[in-house]
Chains A and B, each alone.
Chain A
């Protein structure tokens, strides 16, 4: 028998033939390109000869200060570039050997790449204020994290939620209005979840009771919330802004000791209660999803609702409850735009953050911690864009702001690890 199989089939001692899977070139290519960008664009041809970059860490009230760090731009970027090229080579070698790389590898690679990028971008432009950069990143991440948690709870139960955007906006609106009317920002914080949950009621009514496609309802709900809030803003809120739309800000509550840790302290522990609630929500969700009865059932109805049904779990009731909980979480996140930032309500002020939250959830592979990480990354990219454009660096802010979206596209296209949605995601469940 003349076959061309010998090259592919290796016979193992155990018996049957085993085939070698094709080499996965995605990671080596991505690493290689980034390493070369670092070495050439940021390093050798970065136009940073003779310039230096300063990183500052101070936030004024640190327990003890860290002196600013000044590095020679070109030397640093070239050095980091060489390290990255070496890492890319390692990644290629491991890929050829078909071995897996630990999670530390992309993180280390990313941090180094970012360091080189900042060194290049900040060369000759004063200093890079690291603490405000991180603090701003966290602030911008708050609605993203809440939104991502909302999307996650819904999709883990099998309900796609494109209406996160609308839920954030509704939360922002109600928080502003209630806080203003009661003249207490905390009242707004209490009201916000109800706005998000209200949107969720409509979502679950159409999706679960009438089996309308979940993506369609989500899209339409976003339009509806924009319409209702904008209409009320232009009428009621504009007619009497002192009563209905006066600014109310949640005060910053520094946590003693923790808040005094250098760099991280001011970033993480000198925040308003909303941010602390966020920490709690993320932690609780993580534990609940993977270590509680509720979590097991939630994952079951999102993966295989019929299996859940056969063991007596009311699939649709649980889905409704979870979608409502999720809506409340997103509504709370929306409060960040108004009472959380001390701003009055403005038309369409959620500005697409709900969609980035969705992206963060996907990039985080439907895991609370992963989603938080992705949301922080997005918040950081956004804040970096803002910071750099005010510093007058060569980086166009608009292009930098595209990054989260491009990264997400790469992720769903399978270039950044395998992304697998809950199996029954988006499918209505009906008993025969």
Chain B
């Protein structure tokens, strides 16, 4: 904290921010640095090194937020930003409370990536390249990327809070292209965490083999079915389904604007009793974890659905204040250039009792969506769509053949209520979630789940 902004500077900036009135003022300071590189055509390229420093100051007055941000952490610039944020206010000066430091230990990083020689990062990508290409003669291309970022943040506000965090994340991804004659298919896989280079101590090359395996499988794929049918969703990145169809609708800003299908449903059954789900910003080492959120609130494990009943929404400070609830540590922002909004951290469906095998065995004709390329939801209507990156037809209780180009489409409330089996397996995956023009790292997870009926959009009518 003291490294980013000194206490007396923070107090001066907050005083300046409230000089023309307001109920709340805050300064968020950040220093970030990162490195990304890629391998394509077996050549290391796109080596990019970045560094940024800056701060955002906001003043909240009578429900309106005034926000200004600047590059750099020069105390004069910070005061100027505070003056700009307060420029439109016309009320009497308010006094910030004296700052009291809250200590929250950052997540431990065993091997800070900045201290790891660049050659090891390049060697890691070469390993991914070899593993992916080695998966089969039909692998025509392999691209892989490596990214590391460290974000030191500090938050001080007029309620007297003074907190900081030091966050290091690393992530690798591999994308394979398989070709057989005119047939071209792709497969992708990622591995990431709120971790240092130690994340790659195991077998990181596995993700390239897995990406290549998916592309090869799809070479044998037929057209995807079209129509309504039972859908078994795979574990891990299958959790993006829950993230999109439920998680976003639980973010309190949508709820308070009446723009969520879950508004007014707290305490009601929204799923079958076999379903329990959490948002947990404290999972050690997970991609969506932080020690504090971007407003200084410690992150926490929040049960959002208990045995089918909706139990909680996800709050930042402002939305919590409106509902007279406690913030849940979900006030997140992409950088000092953005205002915090309620966002998920790591969201997952807790493991259930069914086995993936039994879930599939009970389906006469259906679809098995192992992994998604991504998804999108309109929280107001609950309509969602997901692109399936790896999917299979289920016939007579067995996985029969792979399918290309399938999309799942449906409505949140109906699909959530239609989950009729939750698997006893469990896996977390990394994602980058976009909302209000801001991207933040999120974790998604679950075991296999089965949705009784859902529309599969393919080309085979």
Q: Do A and B interact?
A: no
Query: Which residue numbers of B lie inside 8 Å of A, CB to CB?
Result: none
Query: Which residue numbers of A lie inside 8 Å of B, CB to CB?
Result: none
